[in-house]
Structure formats: C-alpha cells, structure tokens
Structure 1
Amino acid sequence: MILKSEKPDTRSIMIGDMVYTHQGEPLEGKAWMSMNLAKDGKPGVRLNDDPAEYLGMLLGQEQLTHVGAGKTSDGIDAEHYKGSFTNADLLKADESTKAMEAANRTYLHESVKHITTFEVDLWIGKDGYPVRADTVSADGKGTTKTTATFSDYGKVGPIQAPPADQVIAFDAVMKETDRKLKQADEDLKEADKTLRDAGLGGLDLDS
C-alpha cells in the first residue's frame, strides 16, 4: 500500500496482522517499522486496507444509493454507489456483517466505533468486486479523505516481509522513548538536588 498525502509518499506492506512501513528517515539504522495490528489478541483497524470491510459495512444500508453505470477516473467500467452515514448507521451494520468471519467483524466494529460521519463513493466492477472507494470520514480528531483502488483479485503478488535486520518494532521504539523520558526526568531531579545542596536554589521543575 502506498499512502499519498501532502507529505512524502509512505509505503507499507501488510502480511496477516503485521504491517511494515518504510521510514522516510532510517530510525536507529532500520529502514522499516513493524506494527502488530492484533497485539495481545486485540483487533486492529484496517478499514482502508481491506475492500471486504467496505462491502461488509455497507450491507443493508438504506442510505446507500445506486448512482448508475459509468467509468472510474481510472477508466474502469463500474457501477457507482454513494452514501452518507452517521455513527449509528455504521454500528447498525453489525447485523448485516454476520456473513463475515467473526474476527473480521470484530476488526470492522473497532474501525468504525470512533467515526462520527462517513461518506463513500464506491465503484463495483463487472466481476462484482470493488475497484475504487473514495471516502470522507470524521471523528473527534478531524476529517480524513481517502481514495483506495483495488485490482488483481486472486493473484499472488511478490509480497515479502522486509529483512529482519532492517526492521524495528513500534513497541520497541515507544519503550525506548519512555525510557529516555524517564531518564531525563531523573537527571533533572538529580541536577536539582545538586544545585540545592550547593545552595544555588535548584531548578524550577514545576514550571
């Protein structure tokens, strides 16, 4: 997956529940960062990665309308569907998604529970598979616009995990950051004590 935005493009590889993201700048000599979407058995968020979740979430939605046949901006013949949903609408889709595997239904539920509004333009190809989805979703942090295109269903691509010696785990980075912050806090307290012992008034650590 290549994520395009105002920032430099970001390339990610997903294998099972593991996501490997290429770093713009190597971190501790590692070019890739890994993240486990199902850490500790908890569901991950992958709404923009799995086309099945678009369909699962839209099953039975009365607000989804068929715009008509046409071509996507990529020139692909497809049926165009459009819809605008509230959080209640998205959560109500839970009954319709029973056609999905239990784990995938859990992923889907987790990925939409924080969304307040969700708008989608969905194009379904002649083979019945989604070929494009343009979405605008809003939550407490702001609005996100996404365009996702899908192709080559059923084909096995040359997808491999990056070399292990080029990967650093997200959790390891967070632990190291916490360790450095804790050490910095201890160093400041020690410096404060040294200054006070010397009668120099110490540091203003509360400001």
Structure 2
Amino acid sequence: MTMSTWGRVGVSLTALAVVAGVAGCQSDDSDTKRTGGSAANGGEPQSRSAVTEVLTAAYEKTAAAKSAKVSMTMSMPAGAAGAAGGGEMEMAGVMGWDPMVMDMTMTGSMMQAEPDAPDKIRMVWVENAMYMDMGAEAAKDMDGKRWMKLDLAAAAEASGDPAAASELTGGMENMNQDPAQQLALLLDSPNVKHVGSEKVDGVDAQHYKGTLTVAEMVESNESLDVLSAKERKDLLAGIDKSGIEGYDIEVWVNEDDYPVKMDVGMDSPQGAMKMSARYSDYGAKASVQTPPAGDTVDLFEMLGDLGGEAGAGADDSGI
C-alpha cells in the first residue's frame, strides 16, 4: 500500500473517531416512555415545569420522526478524538435513528490532515459500521475496491476494554447522539433552563440549555446499561483520566415542537470540542444501503493481514 493510501487511511481513522461519536451510543428511542404536551412559546422565560413540558413534547415528536436532514459542524483541538492536527469537519446529508443510519458527505480542514487526502469523503453508516468512499486513487491500491469498512463495535469487542473504546472516540460518543436522545439527556440535566425566544435561519424557536457531569451523562445514557458495574467503573475512570468534566447542551425548538438546532460542547485538556447541528425535513426518507461487498475492504482485516505478513517475514529471516 502506498503512502498516499495510508494517508487516506489516517484521515479515515480520524473520521471514524468523529462519526463514531455521532452514532456510537444510540438507543432504541421507542423503548423510552415520556409523556407531556407542547407548551405555549412565549417570549418570557419559562418555568421548570413548562421547560419539561416543551422538551418532552419535542422528544416525543423527534423520536417518532426517526429521521431528518442534517448539516453539522464539529471542531476540536489537536490530539482530541484522534484528530492529530485538530480543525473542523462539516457533514451534510440524512440521518436516521431507530435504527441508526447515515449517508453524509464530509469536508473541512480536518479532512486535509494528510497532503494526499481527498477534498471530501462520502460516508455511509449502516448496521453499526461505517463505510467510506476512499476515491478512485485509493482504489488502485486496494484491488480496485474504493469503499473502506470501519467497524467500531468489532474494534471495541477485540479490545475487551470499554475505557479504551471510549478513548478511541475521545468521549465523543456522549456528546453526539441523535436529536431525540440529546433531548432526553437535556431533560435529565439538573439545571436545564429556558434562555429565550430566538430565530434560527429565519425560523422562530425557543432556546434551552443545560449541563451534565460525566457521571450524570453515563447514568442517563441508556446504551451503557449493558455494561457491568466494573465496566462502568472502568469507563468512568477512563473518561476521568482524559480530563473531561462535563458537557454543555443547547437546543432550539421550533413552533412545531421539533429541534432545529443543537449545540454540544465538551472541555478537554487539549481544548474545547464543539458540535453544532441543524435539522430539517423530519421524517425524510433515510434509505441507506450497504456498499457492495465486492467493492469493500475491511480496514481491521486488512491491518490484520499486514501484521501477519510482517510476522511471516520476520520468521523467514530467522529472527
């Protein structure tokens, strides 16, 4: 494999760390029961009960929609979530939840960490795996196959260490989830409040914000219920070691009770990590197909094969 292709692989691993944060901790929203109706959207600050009513209504409608068009910007400092040089990444396309699927195009300075990196990469997420179109040049070094498969679940299972898996995604699995799950998390914030009435892209919306500590985030994250007490303790220890203390969540809800914008922030020793997403066309069809197997290379299998070849070479040399 040429160095230019390895450069593309490096970009892909950065994207894996980022996108895994978007998809890595999804839960089946239909299993969560929340009740409540819409509150009047006035200009005055709302009471805590009114805030809960509005956000619960938004949660229910968003969970039922199961999909939306999304444009997202992520920024992170060097060294965070695998982003060696830091920078920004923009993503635009369609996202579905319950089940989790995505079909997006990624651009931005983070994609240019390597000199031979493509200007943009199409990314498909389906069945808990990410597929990236590496382009025609990379295909020349991959037996003509232009799609690369990146399976985070397989990597986490192979490691047997949930804390290590969390380090792979830089804790981003807790800052980037589907909009319904973000609303559920915001409802669990002990200090959620109504900021006021604002416009987002010309649309009237109500602005809400809250914070969660790492412990509160883990407690609220239903997808982590599968962890044993020891695994949960190890996960918290790993995040604590990373220096992450908590998360800031903000959401803007329109008059139809749908979130039109969400911001999530997280401070780390390397600096602030931020995600800002805009949602539209709730219920838009999210028909995402797995790329053809004959046109796909599995990254972890490829790395395993290369490791085996290196070991065989050492044996042949008599070392």
TM-score normalised by the chain length of structure 2: 0.46
**Cα shift at 1:39:** 3.8
- For 1:82, which of 201, 206, 209 is the aligned residue? 209
The count of corresponding residues between Structure 1 and Structure 2 is 178
Paired residue type of 1:5 = G
**Cα shift at 1:23:** 2.1
CA distance in 2, matches of 1:124, 1:78: 5
Whether 1:54 and 2:169 are equivalent positions in the alignment is no
In the alignment, what sits opposite 1:203? Answer: none
Kindly name which structure, 1 or 2, has the bigger radius of gyration based on alpha carbons.
1
Stretches of structure 1 lacking an aligned partner (at least 5 in a row): 95-104, 193-207
After superposition, residues 11-30 of structure 1 pair within 5 angstroms as 11-23=122-134, 25-26=138-139, 28=142, 29-30=144-145
Whether 1:106 and 2:209 are equivalent positions in the alignment is no
Whether 1:172 and 2:304 are equivalent positions in the alignment is no
User: Do the aligned partners of 2:149 and 2:296 also contact (CA within 8 Å) in 1?
Assistant: yes
**Cα shift at 1:158:** 4.4
**Structure with the largest fraction of helix:** 2
CA distance in 2, matches of 1:143, 1:40: 26
Paired residue type of 2:147 = W
CA distance in 2, matches of 1:184, 1:138: 45
Whether 1:33 and 2:148 are equivalent positions in the alignment is yes
Paired residue type of 2:304 = K
Q: 1:39 to 1:109 in 2, by over 3 A?
A: same
User: Do the aligned partners of 1:53 and 1:108 also contact (CA within 8 Å) in 2?
Assistant: no
User: Do the aligned partners of 2:266 and 2:274 also contact (CA within 8 Å) in 1?
Assistant: yes
SS of the residue aligned with 2:283?
Answer: coil
**Cα shift at 1:90:** 1.6
Paired residue type of 2:285 = V
- For 1:2, which of 78, 101, 105 is the aligned residue? 105
In the alignment, what sits opposite 2:62? Answer: none
Q: 1:155 to 1:140 in 2, by over 3 A?
A: same
TM-score normalised by the chain length of structure 1: 0.66
Q: 1:41 to 1:146 in 2, by over 3 A?
A: closer
CA distance in 2, matches of 1:170, 1:125: 41
User: Do the aligned partners of 1:125 and 1:131 also contact (CA within 8 Å) in 2?
Assistant: yes
- For 2:194, which of 47, 54, 66 is the aligned residue? 66
Paired residue type of 1:156 = K
User: Do the aligned partners of 1:123 and 1:130 also contact (CA within 8 Å) in 2?
Assistant: yes
**Cα shift at 1:146:** 1.8
In the alignment, what sits opposite 1:204? Answer: none
> What whole-Å deviation, never above 9, does each CA across 1:161-204 have from its counterpart, x for those lacking one?
222222212321231242244345446xx276xxxxxxxxxxxx
**Cα shift at 1:139:** 4.7
Q: 1:33 to 1:49 in 2, by over 3 A?
A: farther
> What whole-Å deviation, never above 9, does each CA across 1:94-125 have from its counterpart, x for those lacking one?
5xxxxxxxxxx215998x95353222322223
Whether 1:134 and 2:263 are equivalent positions in the alignment is yes
Q: Which structure exhibits the higher relative contact order, with contacts defined as CA atoms closer than 8 Å and separated by 6 or more residues?
A: 2
Which deviates further from its counterpart, 133-142 or 14-23? 133-142
In the alignment, what sits opposite 2:81? Answer: none
SS of the residue aligned with 1:13?
Answer: strand
> What whole-Å deviation, never above 9, does each CA across 1:67-102 have from its counterpart, x for those lacking one?
112122x333322122333212323435xxxxxxxx
Q: 1:170 to 1:121 in 2, by over 3 A?
A: same
Identity %: 29
Q: 1:137 to 1:46 in 2, by over 3 A?
A: closer
**Cα shift at 1:61:** 0.7
**Structure with the largest fraction of strand:** 1
User: Do the aligned partners of 2:147 and 2:296 also contact (CA within 8 Å) in 1?
Assistant: yes
Paired residue type of 1:128 = D
